[in-house]
Amino acid sequence: MCGRLVCGPHKQMVQRLEAGPVRRLQDGTPFLRLNPGRMCRRISGPWVLPEAEKDPAPWLPKETEALVSAVRSCGHLGWAAVQQQLESKGFARTEVQCQVQWRQVSQPLSTTDVIDLSAADETKLRETGDGTVGRRWQWRDEAINAEMQLLLSSDSERVELQELGTGLIVFSPLLSCYLSSASISHPPSTLLPETIQEDFLIGLSAFFRTPMIDRTGLLNKDCSLRLTVLEPMPDKDPSFCTPLGAVMDGRAKELIERAQAQRCKLEVLWSGGIDSTSLLVALLQTLFPDWRPWKPMSSPQGDPRFHTFPGIVVRCSADSIAEYPWFHENVLLPLHEAGAIDMQPMADAEEVSMLWEAPSSRIAVTGECGDQIFGSQLLEAAFVKSELRALYEHGLDAAWEDTVLHALLDMGIVRLDCKERWLRWFRPFVERCPLPVYSAFDLLWWLNVSCKWQTVCLRLFQRRPQLRSSDLKRLAHFFQTEEFQQWSFVPGNHAAKMKDHKKWSTYKQPLKDYILEFTQDREYCDSKLKVGSLCQVNDASRFVIMGIDDKLNVLRFGHTCLSARQMDKRYPDCALQRAFLRNRCIASAAVAPIESPNVLSHAQPDSPRPGLTVCW
């Protein structure tokens, strides 16, 4: 098997298996190395490499500087290239040691020089399963669990409060705790149980570990937060019959023509995964219709229709290459050497802000929304033991009431005494689906495409400290089109998304078949599994971002930590409650929502249901 299998969204949890017998999942799919202690967004220590060898000696400052320089200059060629460059400078380290050290230094801890924690405080930090501390999160965890007076009183950025919008287009579920409860004197580290169990949409968000905004509008009505839908769920087109390959090719042609008209390059963020590889294949075979990696005499002669197209820049990291080395060696490098495309490195933890600070003559293209078209990362729970026991025991073809709902009950997200009320709230949403929803597979796909879509489209922007409307035009998600959604609504296509619900390796098989036609790489087609890539992207903001409203205000209060007091200081006079908390009780006074025009032309703010009162 080529590359690495990852259970869940974190690549770091998987190591190459150099020797030993091949292990297999329950469905028989081979994998290299898996940490069985973590599962689908329930991670005990996401940044720990427990299998890494011990360093014979600590890293010297000069050695670390050389490592950072090597990753920046040749990290896109793989860890072997980084290790060789270190050797050329007189430093003897293995590839694994280089990778472990890079994980430690690639995201410096936030302002550690101004915080002095006692030994007793340090014991409160989140511990990983093997007793070590996940360093990337330890300072944020500590800050959330204890109000840091120094940071609260010395917010280094003083931004004049702008007029707030009428609804949230992205939000942190934790925001509902801060807006709805006047009794919180210290910030909670997690969602309060009553918030999860009484606010059903917040509960679903906790289950998915992602803010859920229903594009049908049905589930939003009972949410304690005012939400704004930017891209409503399209109605099913019964006449739609375009095959996936034609949809892919049409989208590639559309993006190339757009870039050609704007005289800018397409900057493809390639992770090595199925989504980003398939979109890159679509672009390449549109630009170079006669070139194939398996044709030795083929030449990357460009399509004359696009002779004024400025070109493609492929951004990739060492992790991208490790995930699909064959494609890097046999497709990208030959085209790069022939001058057909440009390749540029992207360090594993490079800040997202760099994408928008790059030359304005580029449009960044991502593979976002691919998961929403085909299903959900949570489908993996049917193949690996986790707290989602019902999915593992019954499988993806079992009724959703016996799997997904059972999992929600097991996890305490839905209380048993609230089950019938929850079903009355949820069933109209299920019936709104353009396809019959019977199984766990059906429901997880429907939740993903309807409720997770908007957050996925905006989550890279949520990592920026500030946001402008011009930023939205700098990013194009390849699968964010109505054509892809209509394709997913066709019953036959729905069945093909994962042709065998008992084999995880068949997930996204149509995309893998599309890649196979271009590459003839049968091993990737048969063995490649879903891998999450966003975990490789670093937060561009030092602030804890709690949401974005429909006027593109980035909501934040507190430097590294959260605090109700800091929220009141930054947004006085219950400004956030007035704007975004519906049908609530505020200790100071009952206030009316702020009425202001929506600057996003396609946004549709939902209206509160009369009579619903959310009061904690």
pLDDT tens for 295-354 read 876 777 777 777 778 889 999 888 888 889 999 999 999 999 989 999 988 764 444 555
Least confidently predicted of 155-159, 193-197, 385-389, 555-559: 155-159
Q: Could you give the strand order of the β-sheet that contains 543-549, starting from the edge strand earlier in sequence?
A: 168-171, 543-549, 554-559
Residue pLDDT, tens place only, 474-487: 889 999 999 999 99
pLDDT of residue 542: 56
pLDDT value at 143 more than 80: no
Kindly tell me if the per-residue pLDDT of 127 is higher than 50.
no
Least confident interval from 152-161, 345-354, 439-448, 491-500: 152-161
Cross-strand bridge partners of residue 343: 314
Query: Which residue is it, tokens 């956030």?
Result: 576
Count of other CB atoms within 10 angstroms of residue 333: 15
* Residue 400 near residue 522 (C-beta atoms within 8 A): no
Most confident range, picked from 8-12, 66-70, 499-503: 499-503
pLDDT in tens, 561-598: 566 777 888 888 889 999 999 864 433 333 333 333 33
What's residue 540's pLDDT?
A: 47
Phi, psi angles (nearest 5°) of residue 452: -100, -15
For residue 61, pLDDT beyond 70: yes
According to the model, what pLDDT value does residue 175 have? 85
Q: What is the domain partition of the chain in residue ranges?
A: 11-150, 168-229+551-605, 244-368+459-536, 391-450
The better pLDDT of the pair 557, 270 is held by 270
Q: Which residues of 511-530 are buried (b: 16+ CB within 10 A; e: fewer)?
A: bbebbbebbebeebbebbbb
Q: pLDDT tier at 48 (50, 70, 90 boundaries)?
A: very low
Domain 244-368+459-536: which CATH number of 3.30.40, 1.10.3470, 3.90.1010, 3.40.50 = 3.40.50
pTM of structure: 0.72
Closest CA to 433 of 218, 210, 203: 218
What tokens does 49 get?
């490499």
Picking from 513, 589, 579, 520, the residue whose alpha carbon sits closest to that of residue 546 is 579
- Residue 494: pLDDT above 80? yes
Mean pLDDT of 442-453: 97
Lowest mean pLDDT, pick from 407-416, 433-442, 459-468, 547-556: 459-468
Contact yes or no for 610/222 (Cβ under 8 A): no
154 and 74 in contact (C-beta within 8 Å)?
Answer: no
Average of per-residue pLDDT values in the chain:
75
- Closest C-alpha to 175, from 387, 462, 415: 462
pLDDT > 90 fraction of the chain, expressed in percent and rounded? 39
